[in-house]
């Protein structure tokens, strides 16, 4: 079977050194990466959040309604996914994760309608709003999908899926998929900066912090696979996500959210994802490879996949981003002190 | 606490790129690497083996007696360890693993007394002898020890132990410890070559094959730690070693031996080690990081170490070697067809 590098042709370096000899490795199952148009040199990943103590606060619903309206304006995002979780402080948090493949379109949209949504004058007490903005160039993120027929996340603003890729299913493959890692060790650089106080606060992480959004979709599973997933995979996954949320700081995880994707009527679907920020890719790798909470997740997922083999209908994907210090910015308005990257201080 | 690189100062490259920023990583427990004298540029690791169907065959005892005598001759090894196991075909196999820090001394010794031991005319039917010879330069092996006060293996021909090292306790640290990996991806190169047939056969692996000798020593443990080790760590360790011995070929493991170290009277001690050859370091890394058999070993060892913390008396070490194609040679005389690297054909 023909395999190709996860790294798009125009980003491949002749002297790259993946762990396995290019052309020689046969992964045990197929995976795919998103491809982007030739004109794309950077993307926008924007998380617009609404936070309220009371899940049914009508002001939160109003803020979300405003966002739904704003995102349909001209130059709006190419893709949006709404998802929800309850944070460690008990606040219901709903986030629209929006993607643009053209940063200039984002800038026009934001100037026109996006910024107004975050205007402190519109943010009511007890119903915080935030924007977590990441604008990586193509060298600074990578994606992987277990199936090529349903793009998710940033892939929805891509042009197509790659063929079957080489760099997956072995430890270190995440790094081998990230184009910049061909030439850069991705060490953290510079300082985290928090500005503002009171109602409006901005965070800018140091360079080479690492964001992962890692999702699972059981929409297409039959009863037997769904039952097995819910009874054997989901519990350790939830335990690991809780660990990262509550104790992640001890291992370089600044924040973690385990979210349920919502449908058009804001009802929960069969799709979930974890979204976490890390000091650097190495800290994420260390947790994934060595920490008991992830060893349990990994073991459960392996047993699940080997139970169903090619009949598996569970879908998995992730996207991992390592922005520079100026490719990210986090703005919290009227949010509590432990919200998102405010915890990274 | 002061940490230093596992890579000796004279082998460190200014542009090296370990996974963690040098000087920033704090491993959760101490580890150490062997250091060698300034005059050392390569070492010799030689495994002299005797194989017999009957464990009590007096001709095997005689061959081992000859070896014990030969190794005390002038220019003999700086260190020897005798160990035993029963191979997959049921042959009792006893191996003297001998180390020299001066390859020229080895050559003189071998010409004078070592080669005679392997003379086909001295090898009796049913009692095979072999030599597995590896002569890496200093850039092509790395060592790690959980305690610095008892060198083992190649460290016994070193001068001292390093201080506490940085590159350990995270995935990818084995590669970060290997000096050559600073500049080389260690991909396999060239072809495996088998020459001879019948009683005398030679194997030369392709370049960048990978040897690991990984040991555990429970000599100093108290009753409680010993019981826990034997009941929770040793069983998955043995299962993993059996898997590699019997099915390792499917994942790039050419051969594996799980051996018990013998004392001066050839009686079993509390020290064991696994010794395996791999297609390349990546194959070893993949097994260690992802295969269920090693995930079980790793989980059990982590639970053991966290149960006893600084009171742990279990000692662990390994040495990993990635020789070029001309830095290894395997000679089997009168051995069965599945012996050692003959299986790698």
Sign of the CA dihedral with B82 first, then B272, B331, and A20 last: negative
pLDDT at A197: 83
pLDDT at B1: 57
- Are A142 and A320 in contact by the 8 Å Cβ rule? The answer is yes
Residues of B in contact with A302 (CB under 8 A): 290, 292
Average the pLDDT over A195-203 and give the result: 93
CA dihedral A165, A183, A323, A101 (to 10 degrees): -50
Any B CB within 8 A of A13 CB: no
pLDDT at A299: 83
Asked if the model's pLDDT at residue A298 lies above 90, the reply is no
- Give helix A292-308 / helix A281-290 axis angle, nearest 10°: 70
Any A CB within 8 A of B27 CB: no
Asked if the model's pLDDT at residue A237 lies above 70, the reply is yes
* Least confident range of A305-309, B91-95, B147-151, B248-252: A305-309
- Helix, coil or strand: residue A197: strand
Query: In angstroms, what separates the C-alpha of A176 from chain B's closest C-alpha?
Result: 12
Q: For the range A200-203, what are the long-range contacts, defined as Cβ-Cβ under 8 Å and sequence gap of 24 or more?
A: A200/A120, A200/A331, A200/A332, A200/A333, A201/A331, A201/A332, A201/A335, A201/A342, A202/A329, A202/A330, A202/A331, A202/A332, A203/A329, A203/A330, A203/A332, A203/A340, A203/A341, A203/A342, A203/A344, A203/A345
**Which of B163, B304, B86, B286 is closest to A28 using CA atoms?**
B286
Of the residues A25, A207, A281, A282, the best mutation for testing chain B's interface (the one with the most B CB atoms within 10 Å of its CB) is A282
Any B CB within 8 A of A179 CB: no
pLDDT at A223: 97
Query: In angstroms, what separates the C-alpha of A317 from chain B's closest C-alpha?
Result: 18
Q: The tokens of A260 are what?
A: 């349920």
- Contact: A285, B187; criterion CB under 8 Å: no
Asked if the model's pLDDT at residue A272 lies above 90, the reply is yes
DSSP per position, B21-54: PTTT---SS--B-EE--TT--B-EEEEEEEEESS
Asked if the model's pLDDT at residue B217 lies above 70, the reply is yes
Q: Model confidence over A90-128: pLDDT tens digits?
A: 999 999 999 999 999 999 999 999 999 999 999 999 999
Any B CB within 8 A of A27 CB: no
Asked if the model's pLDDT at residue A290 lies above 80, the reply is no
Average the pLDDT over B119-123 and give the result: 95
A197 burial type by CB count under 10 A (0-12 exposed, 13-18 middle, 19+ buried): exposed
Nearest CA in chain A to B286: A170
Residue-averaged pLDDT of chain B: 95
Query: In angstroms, what separates the C-alpha of A15 from chain B's closest C-alpha?
Result: 10
- Helix, coil or strand: residue B299: helix
Residues 6+ apart with CB under 8 A from A212: A274, A275, A276, A278, A284, A318, A319, A320, A321
Of the residues A166, A171, A291, the best mutation for testing chain B's interface (the one with the most B CB atoms within 10 Å of its CB) is A171
Average the pLDDT over B17-36 and give the result: 92
Q: Model confidence over A27-60: pLDDT tens digits?
A: 888 999 999 999 999 999 999 999 999 999 999 9
Nearest-by-Cβ selection for B302 from A19, A20, A292: A292
- Residue whose structure tokens are 């002749």: A14
Instruction: Report DSSP state, residue B208.
Output: T
pLDDT at A171: 87
- Are A335 and A132 in contact by the 8 Å Cβ rule? The answer is no
- Residue whose structure tokens are 């600044």: A254
pLDDT at A1: 57
Any A CB within 8 A of B206 CB: no
Runs of H (alpha helix) within A262-317: 281-290, 292-308
Nearest CA in chain A to B28: A251
**Confidence at B21, pLDDT banded by 50, 70, 90:** very high
pLDDT at B197: 83
| Percent of chain A clearing pLDDT 90 (strictly above) | 88
- Are B280 and B270 in contact by the 8 Å Cβ rule? The answer is no
CA distance B211 to B209: 7
| Percent of chain A clearing pLDDT 70 (strictly above) | 99
- Are A170 and A31 in contact by the 8 Å Cβ rule? The answer is no
Residues 6+ apart with CB under 8 A from A197: none
Q: Model confidence over A69-78: pLDDT tens digits?
A: 999 999 999 9
CA distance B223 to B237: 20
CA distance A153 to B290: 27
CA distance B300 to B305: 9
At residue B58, what are phi and psi to the nearest 5 degrees? Answer: -65, -25
Q: Model confidence over B135-183: pLDDT tens digits?
A: 999 999 999 999 999 999 999 999 999 999 999 988 899 999 999 999 9
- Residue whose structure tokens are 């891509």: A158
* Least confident range of A9-18, B125-134, B296-305: B296-305
Any B CB within 8 A of A169 CB: yes
Q: Model confidence over A129-187: pLDDT tens digits?
A: 999 999 999 999 999 999 999 999 999 999 999 999 999 988 899 999 999 999 999 99
ipTM associated with this complex = 0.80
Buried b (16+ CB within 10 A) or exposed e, A218-231: beebeeebbebbee
Domains of chain A, start order: 30-38+138-181+207-324 (3.30.70.100), 44-136+330-344 (3.30.70.260)
Nearest-by-Cβ selection for B185 from A17, A282, A289: A17
């Amino acid at each position: 079977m023909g395999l190709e590098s996860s790294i798009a042709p125009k980003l491949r370096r002749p002297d790259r050194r993946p762990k396995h000899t290019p052309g020689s490795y046969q992964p045990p199952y197929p995976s795919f990466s998103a491809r982007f148009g030739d004109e794309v040199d950077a993307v926008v990943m924007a998380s617009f959040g609404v936070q309220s103590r009371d899940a049914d606060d009508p002001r939160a619903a109003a803020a979300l309604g405003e966002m739904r309206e704003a995102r349909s304006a001209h130059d709006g995002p190419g893709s949006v996914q709404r998802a929800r979780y309850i944070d460690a402080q008990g606040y219901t948090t709903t986030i629209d994760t929006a993607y643009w493949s053209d940063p200039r379109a984002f800038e026009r949209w934001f100037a026109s309608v996006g910024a107004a949504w975050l205007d402190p004058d519109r943010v009511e007490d007890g119903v915080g709003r935030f924007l977590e903005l990441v604008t990586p160039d193509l060298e600074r993120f990578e994606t992987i999908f277990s199936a090529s027929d349903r793009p998710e996340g940033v892939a929805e603003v891509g042009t197509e899926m790659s063929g079957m890729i080489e760099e997956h299913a072995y430890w270190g493959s995440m790094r081998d998929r990230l184009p910049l890692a061909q030439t850069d060790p991705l060490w953290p650089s510079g300082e985290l900066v928090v500005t503002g106080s009171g109602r409006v606060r901005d965070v800018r992480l140091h360079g080479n912090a690492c964001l992962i959004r890692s999702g699972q979709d059981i929409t297409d599973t039959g009863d037997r696979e769904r039952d097995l997933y819910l009874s054997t995979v989901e519990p350790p996954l939830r335990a690991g996500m809780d660990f990262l949320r509550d104790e992640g700081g001890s291992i370089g995880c600044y924040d973690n959210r385990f979210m349920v994707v919502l449908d058009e009527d804001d009802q929960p679907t069969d799709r979930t994802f974890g979204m976490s920020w890390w000091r650097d890719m190495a800290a994420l790798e260390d947790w994934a490879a060595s920490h008991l909470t992830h060893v349990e997740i990994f073991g459960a997922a392996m047993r699940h996949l080997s139970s169903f083999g090619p009949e598996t209908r569970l879908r998995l994907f992730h996207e991992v981003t390592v922005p520079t210090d100026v490719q990210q910015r986090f703005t919290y308005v009227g949010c509590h002190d432990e919200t998102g990257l405010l915890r990274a201080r």
